[in-house]
Structure formats: C-alpha cells, structure tokens
Amino acid sequence: MIKDKLVFEYIEKEKIRQTQGIELIASENYVSEQVMAAAGSVLTNKYAEGLPGKRYYGGCEIVDEIEDVARNRLKKLFDANWVNVQPHSGAQANAAVMLGILNPGDKILGFDLAHGGHLTHGSSVNFSGKIYSSCFYGVKKNNGLLDYNQLEKVAFKEKPKLIICGASSYSRDWDYKKIREIADSVSAIVLADIAHPSGLIARGLLNDPLDHCHIVTSTTHKTLRGPRGGIIMMRNDYDNPLGTKSPKGNLKSLSSVLDSAVFPGTQGGPLEHIIAAKAISFEEALSDNYMQYILQVKKNAKMMAKCLIEKGYNIISNGTENHLMLIDLSNKDITGKVAENTLGKADITINKNMVPFDKESPFITSGMRIGSAAITTRGMKEKEMKKVVFYIDEVLKNRNNEKRIREIKKEINKWMVDYPLFK
C-alpha cells in the first residue's frame, strides 16, 4: 500500500498548528492519546446497527461489550438511569430527540441563537426551524442574564410541546428547576442541551439538569474532553408524549422511543471506534485528575474574565460561571470578524460571535467567544491566563501593526513549547 503523503502532510501541519498556538475556541479541546488511539482503531471496520444484544449484523459480540462499557461509565458519570451513546454529534442527538417526541409543525421554544443559543434550538436555517414551528426567549438587555420572565410569558402564549434550554455562548448557570416548573404549567417536555458545560455539570460544579429536565443531550468533546460525538441521557424514564405503541399495542417508554429515534430514525450504523473513544474519555472524566482539571478550567475562565474586564472589555453578563465568555467588542471599535482574523495572525484562535441585540450580520458580528478548556488541558493556570489576556489585548490594540503582530506570534510559539500536548 502506498502511503498518502499529501493527506498526512496536512495532518502533520494541523498537529503543528494545534501545538504552537493558543487555542481559545470554547467548543474545542485536546483528547488524550489513548482516546485518539481508540478513535483510529480497527473498530472503524465494524458495522453494528442496533443496540448491544439487539444487532442487525453478526460478529458484534465484542463491540457489544465495548458499547456497554461506554453506557455504564456514562451512567455513573452523570448518575443517569438510561443513556444512548450512539449519536454522531450533539446536533444529531437533538435531531433524534425531536424526531422521537414531536410531530412536524409542533411548536418548540428555544434560546435565541443571537443571544447565545444553538442552531438546533429552532433556528430558521436548521432542520429544527424548518420542520418545527419555533419561538424564542433570550437575555435581558441591561445585564445579559437569561430572562426567565420572558421565557415564561412566551411559553404561556405559544404553548410549545418542547422547551429547550442550553447554549453555545452563555456564560452563566441555568435554573433548571424554574424551567421545569414553567414547562409543567404548559405540559411541555424539557430538553437540556449541555454540550458546552457538560464536564462541569458531571463533576458537580454547576446545577444538574437531570434533576429536573426530562431529557439531556450533550456532545462528548468540549469540556468532557472526549472524541467528537453526541449522547442522550435521562435520570427517569417517562411515557412517550406521542403515544407511540409497540407491535403488541403497549405504550412505549420514552427511552425506547429515543433509542429508535437514533437508529433507525436518524442514523445508520453507529461509529464503534468513536464509542470506544467515548468509553475511555468517560473513565478519564471520572478520575481525580480530571476533577482537578475541570476545577482549573473554571478558575482559568474566571481569571480571564477578570483580566479582560480590567482592560475595558465588555463581557456579556459581566463574568462567567463556566468555561467560556462572550465579549462585546463594540466599545473597542472592532468587529468580531476583524478580531478573529487579527488574532489568528498571532496564532491565537478564537471565533467571531454574535452578541445579544447585535447590529452586525452573523458574518461580521460585534463579538468574539473564548474559552479556557483547551489551554487548561495544556497545563495552564491562573498566572498564564493573565499572559493570554495580555497577548489578546496587545494584538487587538496593534491590529494595524503587522510587525508587532509577527513579534507576538514568535513569542507565543516559543512560549507554547513549555506546554506540550503529546509527552
């Protein structure tokens, strides 16, 4: 077999890029070498449609054991009684949930994308907004905090079948108990999408949505520090809201409906190599080392927010309780697009992001989003956060000074050698 030099050259270039710069994209992290080894293993060769013990293919005895390990570890990590580890992504996990509990045209109430929500929470450009009827809640203009009164008013007015909580760029904790009370008053199901803060929730650093929400979805990367993929969880099982029955005429449980919504509803064969990688990452997340890591993630984010505020940056909600923060750059006379491109020249990776009540387009934006998960994996602590913020500010202040930006890039590349990814 002739090695594909071109593709592997690109892979090596990407490894160098990840290694030599400061990674601040809130949705990214670095997995362990054993997680990567599992993801690139012979398990990629195996088809295994169905669930362990109920497959549509032969030769699944071993992958059944692996998937059961993944499920049992995930149950332990989140104190869940039912889980599905097969979704290929968080978006597909959400798609499966909606397929299982909604009919086309049913109304969903989600967190506004422009205020920090996610595409799959009802955006008009996403399947969730095309198949279902969407309405939204957001944050208060004066303080950037979630407007629970608005959520309640919209829920009473619209009577949604599903209320979605969770966000991609909201830095505060959620009152799941309050949301469940609102949902119960209008007979709605509550879905918590915890893709971003899942690691902090798993180890008790934020409120637990499984205490109050009917269904919880998440990605397995981001703060969980696993491979790219999705999961669905419940602490308690329920009757399915659509009244779906088995061939024998019995009402199906919600867990059974959700299993079917993943396969055959939205996916074919599960990625057993990724499920193995998930299993490893769940065990890592149960460890004392991970606990120290996720505590540091929260400390680092808090320190970054403090330092940015001291330098005059406007953080939406004026701080953070998780791993990320959304920064309104309007007072700095710079757009999110320019900030992203300029910081990228110095090997600082962030993403432009809309801010609540943004006047710019989604392609330009008035803000940027940053997170502490990836740089904490590399061993950085509060002291280093001060230096990271210094570099962010220095680059943005010198956005028209290419010479200074090149100097900073060299400094960063040299600095990051002290924080190796692969030892």
Q: Are 368 and 340 in contact (CB under 8 A)?
A: yes
Closest CA to 210 of 176, 239, 240: 176
pLDDT confidence of residue 400: 96
What is the average per-residue pLDDT within 103-111? 98
Residues 170-196: pLDDT tens digits? Answer: 999 999 999 999 999 999 999 999 999
Does residue 15 have an active-site annotation? no
Q: Are 121 and 93 in contact (CB under 8 A)?
A: no
- What gap in Å lies between CA 301 and CA 308, rounded to an integer? 11
Sign, Cα dihedral of 390, 393, 396, 399:
negative
Does residue 328 have an active-site annotation? no
Lowest model confidence (mean pLDDT) among 124-133, 237-246, 411-420:
237-246
Peptide bond into 264 cis (omega under 30): yes
What is the average per-residue pLDDT within 313-322? 98
pLDDT confidence of residue 423: 60
What is the average per-residue pLDDT within 81-94? 98
- What gap in Å lies between CA 45 and CA 65, rounded to an integer? 16
Q: Are 190 and 166 in contact (CB under 8 A)?
A: no
Percent of the chain with pLDDT over 90: 96
**pLDDT higher than threshold 90 for residue 245:** no
What is the radius of gyration, based on Cα positions, of the chain?
Answer: 22
The structural domains of the chain, ordered by start, are 34-285 (3.40.640.10), 298-416 (3.90.1150.10)
pLDDT band at residue 249 under the 50/70/90 scheme: confident
pTM above 0.85, yes or no: yes
Q: Which two tokens stand for residue 13?
A: 């270039």
- What gap in Å lies between CA 247 and CA 259, rounded to an integer? 16
pLDDT confidence of residue 421: 87
**pLDDT higher than threshold 80 for residue 169:** yes
Residues in CB range of 414: below 8 A, 6 or more apart? none
Does residue 193 have an active-site annotation? yes
Sheet with 351-353, strands from edge to edge, namely 314-315, 324-328, 367-371, 351-353
> Catalytic pick from 28, 47, 208, 387?
47
Q: Are 172 and 146 in contact (CB under 8 A)?
A: yes
> Catalytic pick from 120, 217, 219, 266?
219
**pLDDT higher than threshold 90 for residue 1:** no
**pLDDT higher than threshold 90 for residue 243:** no
Q: Are 66 and 275 in contact (CB under 8 A)?
A: yes
> Catalytic pick from 55, 228, 298, 409?
228
- What gap in Å lies between CA 272 and CA 263, rounded to an integer? 14
3-state secondary structure the chain: CCCCHHHHHHHHHHHHHHHHCEECCCCCCCCCHHHHHHHCCHHHHCCCCEECCEECCCCCHHHHHHHHHHHHHHHHHHCCCEEECCCCCHHHHHHHHHHHHCCCCCEEEEECHHHCCCHHHCCCCCHHHHHCEEEEECECCCCCCECHHHHHHHHHHHCCCEEEECCCCCCCCCCHHHHHHHHHHCCCEEEEECCCCHHHHHCCCCCCHHHCCCEEEEECCHHHCCCCCEEEEECCCCECCCCCECCCCCECEHHHHHHHHHHHHHCCCCCHHHHHHHHHHHHHHCCHHHHHHHHHHHHHHHHHHHHHHHCCCEEHHHCCCCCEEEEECHHHCCCHHHHHHHHHHCCEECEEECCCCCCCCCCCCCEEEEECHHHHHCCCCHHHHHHHHHHHHHHHHCCCCHHHHHHHHHHHHHHHCCCCCCC
Residues 346-357: pLDDT tens digits? Answer: 999 999 999 999
Mean pLDDT of the chain: 97
Residues 196-214: pLDDT tens digits? Answer: 999 999 999 999 999 999 9
- What gap in Å lies between CA 61 and CA 319, rounded to an integer? 49
Does residue 170 have an active-site annotation? no
φ, ψ at 273 (rounded to 5°): -70, -35
What is the average per-residue pLDDT within 95-118? 97
Does residue 55 have an active-site annotation? no
Q: Which two tokens stand for residue 117?
A: 């929500």
pLDDT confidence of residue 170: 97
Does residue 173 have an active-site annotation? no
Residues 54-70: pLDDT tens digits? Answer: 999 999 999 999 999 99
> Catalytic pick from 222, 225, 235, 298?
222
At 328, which amino acid appears? D
pLDDT confidence of residue 14: 96
- What gap in Å lies between CA 338 and CA 341, rounded to an integer? 5
- Cα separations in angstroms, 125 against 97, 118, 128, 134, 416: 19, 11, 8, 11, 39
Q: How many residues are recorded in the chain?
A: 423
